[in-house]
Amino acid sequence: ITGVAGKALVSIQSDLLQMGDPLIEVYSIDGSKINEMNARSSRTLVMLPRTSGIFIIRVSVGDLVKSERVVGQR
């Protein structure tokens, strides 16, 4: 999970994609869910809200979960 100019790039190993549809969730720093989507490929670009701030990107595939903080800048 990498922050890139108002977006987050989520990379998922191809073998993990076979475990089911990965779920990508975007949260504000206070824990409010902003968005969620299913990843359909090994690389997914997630648009962050049009406000500056810190966002949490949570990716879950099967029993595996990874979260990262990403800075959104406008």
Q: How many domains does the chain have?
A: 1
Tokens 């959104």 sit on residue: 72
Residue ranges in the chain modelled with pLDDT below 50: none
Strands of the sheet containing 2-4, edge to edge, are 2-4, 7-11, 43-47
* pLDDT score at 59: 96
- Cα–Cα distance, 41 to 38 (Å, whole number): 9
Find the CATH number of the domain harbouring 60: 2.60.40
| Mean pLDDT score across all residues of the chain | 90
* pLDDT score at 2: 86
Of the candidates 18, 15, 1, 13, the residue with the CA atom closest to the CA atom of residue 55:
1
The model's pTM is: 0.86
Are 18 and 67 in contact, with CB atoms under 8 Å apart? no
Of the candidates 69, 9, 74, 3, the residue with the CA atom closest to the CA atom of residue 39:
9
